Chains A and B, each alone.
Chain A
């Protein structure tokens, strides 16, 4: 079933150093890396970030091609941002045609923003490629737990994400089934203009919602039958523990961030 192939995120199975890091370390590291991209003000800075990222990708064992696939989806955004920056930045004009003009500063900014976006995508895909979705939700739950005192329902959010991940394939199957059933009754999902197609989705979406609610009711009952009563007093089979690897990673992350700030202070191009 082709519809099934697109499921469950984009985890790339492996047992590299990066894969073995605690999800919390990776989450914090990724956030800091993304922040660092906004701290950087020069191409030299980007070069440094890119080298570090390159080493991490190499360590993770994820093929570069696999990573680049993530770019495809946002290619339009990158090109669009670059074009806007190219034409809209005021400065010394070097080319002019009617109201369109390109300034030296525009070229600089367009390239700058494009690099920043590409690195943002690469940095965050490294996280999703090397961390199982389940581990990621567990990591987030643990990271946000201190915020429970401020009223953030970290356990509930993590449970919702776990269940969502679990039921993506089930709901895709259900969609497939309903689509076939409706096609057999003469529903048309493929032809017509955008408006007609959108309208054609109604006989798919209504039963899908009904069945999603039925599944939710069933699941809630099954969870209650297995003594689920929220996060209080719950233990976990796979407790998370920071290892030596995580301590090394933490030191490196701090060093990296310090280096980025230091480079930002230097008068570089």
Chain B
């Protein structure tokens, strides 16, 4: 059975630097990432993301993972190659809005992505932009806020909420557009551990309901919850495995400064010392089970 592809990247290349006619470099000013030299932020990325899958993209700073995310909903357009979302090319301006509706995005900073000073108005922002009927917007807003457990806060101002709560409102705002796929661009990077756990639980829940989820992160523990992990380095995907297989590449991950989840790293070390363990241990709980059971 072949699964349907939602997002397809074909040999995508992208650079924040373009050359002016006289050959001098022209830097794109709205990019905060620092590149010491002229290089490709994405360098020939070819990927397929299947409907209903949960894909994590990991990599160190400047590996191109955030750039990749912004290609998935036409916020950035490839310099070479092609990105297809539900069969539509992001390069065609006609498709831009339909692509952004189908592929929602949650950003890193919980403060800088909420538009309105009332929670429910913020959630309504997306559907309002799409021109949805007012009664239908109301229904979607209530439903989305309930889905992330923020319904009681619907009349509050975002400045009164915690980071995790703001991020939940941002997720509700994306859900209200009824997307097929949601891209999370390091949604937990600015949260405390409890906020992080909250958000991850919601992400898993959304995946459980059949949404396609792409999670950009640099926490391996978070990535380990996906069905598939893509490791990025220097604008290229260098590993693309399921979590239980990925953590066998301990040395490679280490060389990329990626920290393995504690359970996996411990299991590897024990195995190296000759302790008999099954393959594919990721969590501490599973390790404990294997050792004691």
Binding site for B on A (CB under 8 A): 4, 7-8, 133-134, 162-163, 165-166, 169-170, 173, 214-215, 217-219, 221-229, 233-239
Using A134-B116, A218-B113 as known contacts, say yes or no to A229 and B97 having CB atoms under 8 A apart: yes
Given contact pairs A4-B159, A218-B109, a sample of 9 additional A-B residue pairs in the complex whose CB atoms are under 8 Å apart: A170-B159, A221-B75, A222-B113, A226-B129, A226-B177, A235-B128, A235-B132, A237-B127, A237-B138
B100 touches A224 (CB 8 A): yes
User: Which interface residue of B126, B127, B128, B138 has the most chain A CB atoms within 10 A?
Assistant: B128
Residues of A contacting B120 with CB < 8 Å?
237
CB of B30 within 8 Å of the partner chain: yes
Question: Looking across the interface, which residue of chain A has its beta carbon closest to that of B118?
Answer: A134
User: Which interface residue of A4, A169, A215, A237 has the most chain B CB atoms within 10 A?
Assistant: A237
Using A134-B121, A224-B100, A227-B97 as known contacts, say yes or no to A237 and B128 having CB atoms under 8 A apart: yes
Using A166-B158, A217-B30, A237-B141 as known contacts, say yes or no to A227 and B115 having CB atoms under 8 A apart: no
Residues of B contacting A224 with CB < 8 Å?
75, 100
Q: How far is the CB of A197 from chain B (nearest CB, A)?
A: 28
- Name B72-103 residues within 8 Å CB distance of A: 73, 75, 97, 100-101
Residues of A contacting B132 with CB < 8 Å?
235
Question: Looking across the interface, which residue of chain A has its beta carbon closest to that of B70?
Answer: A221
Task: Give the CA-CA distance A219 to B158 in the complex, in Å.
Answer: 14
- Name B11-32 residues within 8 Å CB distance of A: 30, 32
The tally of CB-CB contacts under 8 A between chains A and B is: 101
Sampled A-B contacts (21; CB under 8 Å): A7-B159, A166-B114, A169-B157, A214-B32, A215-B111, A217-B30, A223-B125, A224-B100, A226-B100, A226-B115, A226-B129, A226-B173, A227-B101, A227-B130, A228-B129, A229-B97, A235-B131, A236-B128, A237-B121, A237-B124, A237-B137
A223 touches B116 (CB 8 A): no
B137 touches A227 (CB 8 A): no
Q: How many B residues are at the interface, by size bracket?
A: 35 or more
B117 touches A227 (CB 8 A): no
Residues of B contacting A169 with CB < 8 Å?
157, 159
Residues of B contacting A173 with CB < 8 Å?
159
Residues of A contacting B137 with CB < 8 Å?
235, 237
A225 touches B73 (CB 8 A): yes
Using A214-B32, A237-B128 as known contacts, say yes or no to A223 and B115 having CB atoms under 8 A apart: yes
Binding site for A on B (CB under 8 A): 30, 32, 73, 75, 97, 100-101, 104-105, 107, 109, 111-118, 120-121, 124-134, 137-138, 141, 157-159, 173-174, 177
B116 touches A162 (CB 8 A): yes
Q: How far is the CB of A166 from chain B (nearest CB, A)?
A: 4
User: Which interface residue of B107, B113, B129 has the most chain A CB atoms within 10 A?
Assistant: B129
Task: Give the CA-CA distance A171 to B32 in the complex, in Å.
Answer: 20
Task: Give the CA-CA distance A226 to B176 in the complex, in Å.
Answer: 10
B126 touches A166 (CB 8 A): no
Q: How far is the CB of A247 from chain B (nearest CB, A)?
A: 22
B125 touches A226 (CB 8 A): yes
Task: Give the CA-CA distance A126 to B101 in the complex, in Å.
Answer: 41
Task: Give the CA-CA distance A166 to B114 in the complex, in Å.
Answer: 8
Q: How far is the CB of A241 from chain B (nearest CB, A)?
A: 11
Using A8-B117, A215-B111, A234-B129 as known contacts, say yes or no to A225 and B105 having CB atoms under 8 A apart: yes
Residues of B contacting A217 with CB < 8 Å?
30, 32
Task: In the A-B complex, list the 10 residue pairs whose CB atoms are closest, starting with the nearest.
Answer: A169-B159, A222-B113, A218-B112, A237-B124, A237-B137, A226-B126, A227-B129, A166-B117, A225-B105, A233-B131
Question: Looking across the interface, which residue of chain B has its beta carbon closest to that of A4?
Answer: B159
User: Which interface residue of B125, B131, B174 has the most chain A CB atoms within 10 A?
Assistant: B125
Task: Give the CA-CA distance A214 to B113 in the complex, in Å.
Answer: 12
Q: How far is the CB of A118 from chain B (nearest CB, A)?
A: 31
Q: Which of A8, A227, A233, A235 contacts B100 (CB 8 A)?
A: A227
Task: Give the CA-CA distance A106 to B133 in the complex, in Å.
Answer: 61
Residues of A contacting B127 with CB < 8 Å?
235, 237
Task: Give the CA-CA distance A217 to B129 in the complex, in Å.
Answer: 19
Using A217-B30, A225-B73 as known contacts, say yes or no to A234 and B115 having CB atoms under 8 A apart: no
Residues of A contacting B101 with CB < 8 Å?
227
Task: Give the CA-CA distance A165 to B177 in the complex, in Å.
Answer: 24
Residues of A contacting B125 with CB < 8 Å?
223, 226, 228
Residues of B contacting A4 with CB < 8 Å?
159
B107 touches A221 (CB 8 A): yes
Q: How far is the CB of A218 from chain B (nearest CB, A)?
A: 4
User: Which interface residue of A8, A222, A225 has the most chain B CB atoms within 10 A?
Assistant: A225
Q: How far is the CB of B171 from chain A (nearest CB, A)?
A: 12
